[in-house]
Structure 1
Amino acid sequence: MARLFGTDGVRGLANRDVTAELALDLSVAAAHVLADTGAFAGHRPFAVVGRDPRASGEFLSAAVVAGLASAGIDVLDVGVLPTPAVAYLTAARGADLGVMLSASHNAMPDNGIKFFARGGHKLDDVIEDTIEQRLREPWKRPTGAAVGRVRQDGAAAEDYVAHLLAVLPHRLDGVHLVVDCAHGAASVVAPALLTAAGARVDVIGGEPDGLNINEGYGSTHMGNLQAAVVQHGADLGVALDGDADRCLAVDAGGELVDGDQIMAVLALALRERQALTDDTLVATVMSNLGLLQAMEREGIVVEQTAVGDRYVLERMRSGGFTLGGEQSGHVILSDHGTTGDGMLTALLLASQVAQTGRPLGDLAGVMRRLPQVMVNVADVDKARAADDEHVQAAVREAEFELAGQGRVLLRPSGTEPLVRVMVEAGEAEHAKIVADRLAVVVKARLAL
């Protein structure tokens, strides 16, 4: 049986895969598992619960709150807020558990459930597996005054914005930017934050109605932001995703600045402030070869992990590193947060533009992004990708063909039923030819 938890919580089609019943049962199981670890010893436990604006989040968050309260956990409902805000508030409020209802950058029909432990850190694999094993087990229900109580936290958004402003190294006065909120969880707080930091702000994708999250806007749909930056004559643009744990950017000419380039800019900025621990950046195997080459030139070490922010976080925590992230724009600054934070990333990126007086395109020019082609091969048995001899032989052949001037990465998706084939090469056309050829082999060998 496939593992219920993926690389970023439980995710799937809302009301079919991710149901109210599952949300309630997961919450009860999580409460029991954490209680058995001693997390609630000596005090009455409480949890922070938030969501993005998807319509399904309304009933799913209600189910989570009901499950937790029925298990004797008090609940602080913070409403619609970004995932990193829920992680921050879990730590700041001293909560024993945090829960976020979101499918991040996925389309509106999907939703997901993410858990945070005390301190705002994502649960590790062992705890998640234990929660799954204990789903729907018999249990003794608390009654009377032992049941959990539920209250709203009206100061949550204001406190989160104040937290981010407190870490701003240089105000954004004189910077004109466009922010794309993906009709998502940051539609209110992102413009408020950037304006309070001193920027002149134009907003797109900032009118969530429960149905339009990530639809044509946000970090997975950059076209509208690219056009808006040029149209408004802005210095830069920043795009968040539905739950605002990611940030991509656009320079004044409308050119994309991806997560790798953002990490390169921030790595140099942090090193300049002597805040880049051991002059090391943590990235995944999906990061562009151009990032590795640029950081090597600058004397910055890049440590690579498996794909997924949880693995970046694990390496950052074990090594005490301060900066890590993914090409997707999921950037983690561990001095200020426990998970990727798109708003913090946007704030620090714009701050570097303001402080240096250099255009974003100039700053991002520290690295040359090698052409990278990604082909998603659907309806295949992704579990067999690493073991099939014909597939692996095709990968070795492609790597020999690229002869050190590019690379190949083939991996199963952690959140979707498909295999991703990624190829980098000196020329885009060459990368496409190799990727398409590998995709044909994967489909032929692993088709369901």
Structure 2
Amino acid sequence: MKYFGTDGIRGKAFEKLNSNLAFKLGQAIAKRFKPESIVIGQDTRLSSNMLAHGVAYGAALGGVNVFMADVVSTPMIAYYSKMKDMIGVMITASHNPYTDNGIKVIKSGYKMLDQEEIDLESYIDDGKVYIAEKFGSINITKEVESLYLQVYEDLMIPNTKLSISFDTANGATYKIGKKIIEKYVETSYQIGDNPDGLNINLNVGSTHLDAIKSAVALYKSDLGLSFDGDGDRILVIDKDGTLFDGDLIVYVIAKYLKSVGMLKKDTVVLTQMSNPGVLAAFKRLGIKVIQTAVGDKYVSEVLIKEDLTIGGENSGHIIINDILPSGDGVFAGMFLIKTLTENDMNLKDYTKEVVIYPQKLVNIPNVNKAVLELEEVKKVIMEVRSELPEDSLLLVRPSGTEPLVRVTISCQDSVMLEKNMAKIVDKIKELGEMK
């Protein structure tokens, strides 16, 4: 596609992503879907106002009533879009730096079909300004927040004695995260809560875990919750500085849901990147795991198709599909707190049966991704696959956005891991080097 990628439109703000493109997208939404109204949210980037208003003006000129939600998280827009059966637009580049931005278009809570994105692209490029007989209005709404807060009331979270540090990445959750966590947690400390338009994800958030580790140590917290710039991811640090990734968070919540009879079909959805040790622990619990390609889009598709309760990625996207349609860091964090509080346990004790296998990811830069089609490379990968034990992980895949190849291996024997990693990486470097 020309504009849409795996997660909406992304690019450098004020360059590829400028007010003109935003206006055309607003027009395209009006032309393709002819909605009565849409809702627009944004993160804290300097460019987000420009893009939000660009989309709003394009849609309003096309006769669409626009509700501006200001700074809210991506999951808040997705939830509102689902509950109101309407189109939502979120202005964000997630965990990227402030120089980037993006536009996500959400239809009734979920990402659009490929054909719908293709249709929007054709309208963006048709060069025709659409002026409706009656212009739409542009209004500010607080309903996105009020509807979202009700979700937490329904979750019945007990007041907890746990001390919580949380990092809102100077991003979309800096207000809503504070409001929710402080309501249910007696002792909490927030960092990454001073956005200036230029510092979203800057040395804070789920891609910079040193910040939350330092906060947990400084405040002697029981848990540290770290969100990304648009609020759809979470990673967790315990009081000892141990990382609990998305797979382990899914494990904790799924274990709780199974214990109370609320885990549909006793099945969860994870990706091919999941640690074999986590998969083994799920099996011992009597929970089946369906694995998808890497990407929360694929996890969501299986959750919907199979009518399942929970899935996620080790990067921190956690989707509790019975309640919210998209990954939601704040909600997953509060569900974690609910689980630990009700069971009067810490994370290590609640997951003590999980034995994480050694795992390593190597990014090989400046290689021609076509190297993976060479028979010599395929042969080496097959040799490694046959040498690794059956319960191991081997994943070799090209980056979707950069000239690099990612190699992931996980197995119980760290010596075997290193030997086989070197074998694959050396062969790809030898044959794939870009001249």
Q: Which residue of 2 aligns with 1:90?
A: 81
**Distance in 1, Cα, partners of 2:425 & 2:388:** 17
Post-superposition shift, 1:294?
0.8
- Is structure 2 residue 104 aligned with structure 1 residue 105? no
Q: Which residue of 1 aligns with 2:135?
A: 147
Change (3 A) 1:150 1:418: farther
Post-superposition shift, 1:367?
1.8
Contact 1:252 1:359 in 2 (8 A): no
> What's the secondary structure of 2:111's corresponding residue?
coil
Post-superposition shift, 1:58?
2.0
Q: Which residue of 2 aligns with 1:334?
A: 321
Contact 2:168 2:192 in 1 (8 A): yes
Change (3 A) 1:61 1:366: farther
Post-superposition shift, 1:360?
1.3
Post-superposition shift, 1:202?
0.6
Q: Which residue of 2 aligns with 1:243?
A: 230
Contact 2:250 2:312 in 1 (8 A): yes
Counterpart among 375, 383, 388 of residue 374 in structure 2:
388
Post-superposition shift, 1:198?
3.5
Post-superposition shift, 1:227?
2.3
Q: Equivalent residues in 2 for 1:25-174 (5 A)?
A: 25-35=24-34, 40=35, 45-92=36-83, 94=84, 96-117=86-107, 119-139=108-128, 141-143=130-132, 146-160=134-148, 162-174=149-161
Q: Equivalent residues in 2 for 1:217-256 (5 A)?
A: 217-256=204-243
RMSD, aligned CA: 2.0
Change (3 A) 1:14 1:260: same
Q: Which residue of 2 aligns with 1:401?
A: 387
Post-superposition shift, 1:432?
4.4
Post-superposition shift, 1:196?
1.1
Change (3 A) 1:418 1:107: farther
Post-superposition shift, 1:23?
2.3
Amino acid at match of 2:341: A
Amino acid at match of 2:93: A
Post-superposition shift, 1:143?
4.2
Post-superposition shift, 1:247?
0.7
Post-superposition shift, 1:130?
2.5
Contact 1:411 1:419 in 2 (8 A): yes
Change (3 A) 1:74 1:388: farther
Contact 2:276 2:391 in 1 (8 A): no
| Larger mean Cα displacement after TM superposition, 323-332 or 205-214 | 205-214
Change (3 A) 1:28 1:418: farther
> What's the secondary structure of 2:76's corresponding residue?
helix
Post-superposition shift, 1:3?
5.2
Identity of aligned residues (%): 35
Q: Which residue of 2 aligns with 1:13?
A: 12
Q: Equivalent residues in 2 for 1:180-195 (5 A)?
A: 180-195=167-182
> What's the secondary structure of 1:329's corresponding residue?
coil
CA deviations on 1:57-109 (whole Å, 9 max, x unpaired) are 121112111222222211101011110011112233x2531111111112221
Post-superposition shift, 1:416?
4.5
CA deviations on 1:360-379 (whole Å, 9 max, x unpaired) are 12223332222221122334
Contact 1:180 1:206 in 2 (8 A): yes
TM-score, normalised via structure 1 length: 0.91
Amino acid at match of 1:377: I
Change (3 A) 1:155 1:134: closer
Amino acid at match of 2:188: V
**Distance in 1, Cα, partners of 2:152 & 2:391:** 42
Contact 1:252 1:360 in 2 (8 A): no
Q: Which residue of 1 aligns with 2:338?
A: 351
**Distance in 1, Cα, partners of 2:186 & 2:421:** 42
Contact 2:42 2:92 in 1 (8 A): yes
> Unaligned 5+ residue runs, structure 2?
none
| Larger mean Cα displacement after TM superposition, 299-308 or 405-414 | 405-414
Contact 2:269 2:299 in 1 (8 A): yes
Q: Which residue of 2 aligns with 1:277?
A: 264
Post-superposition shift, 1:112?
1.1
Post-superposition shift, 1:336?
1.1
**Distance in 2, Cα, partners of 1:183 & 1:429:** 40
Post-superposition shift, 1:243?
0.5
Q: Which residue of 2 aligns with 1:308?
A: 295
CA deviations on 1:157-184 (whole Å, 9 max, x unpaired) are 3432x22322324313212111111111
Contact 1:105 1:242 in 2 (8 A): yes
| Larger mean Cα displacement after TM superposition, 215-224 or 417-426 | 417-426
Post-superposition shift, 1:444?
4.1
> What's the secondary structure of 1:175's corresponding residue?
strand
- Is structure 2 residue 162 aligned with structure 1 residue 175? yes
Change (3 A) 1:230 1:364: farther
Change (3 A) 1:272 1:202: same
Change (3 A) 1:238 1:378: same
Amino acid at match of 1:212: N
Contact 1:11 1:415 in 2 (8 A): no
Post-superposition shift, 1:217?
1.0
Contact 1:48 1:95 in 2 (8 A): no
**Distance in 2, Cα, partners of 1:64 & 1:120:** 19
> What's the secondary structure of 1:292's corresponding residue?
helix
**Distance in 1, Cα, partners of 2:91 & 2:432:** 33
**Distance in 1, Cα, partners of 2:195 & 2:47:** 13
**Distance in 2, Cα, partners of 1:54 & 1:273:** 41
| Larger mean Cα displacement after TM superposition, 12-21 or 243-252 | 12-21
> What's the secondary structure of 1:134's corresponding residue?
helix
**Distance in 1, Cα, partners of 2:226 & 2:414:** 25
Change (3 A) 1:200 1:385: farther
Post-superposition shift, 1:201?
1.1
Contact 1:373 1:428 in 2 (8 A): no
Amino acid at match of 1:137: D
Amino acid at match of 1:412: P
Q: Which residue of 2 aligns with 1:213?
A: 200
**Distance in 2, Cα, partners of 1:414 & 1:27:** 27
CA deviations on 1:113-172 (whole Å, 9 max, x unpaired) are 11100x21111222122222332215462245x222111113433432x22322324313
Amino acid at match of 2:411: A
Contact 1:244 1:342 in 2 (8 A): yes
Contact 1:14 1:110 in 2 (8 A): yes
| Larger mean Cα displacement after TM superposition, 165-174 or 67-76 | 165-174
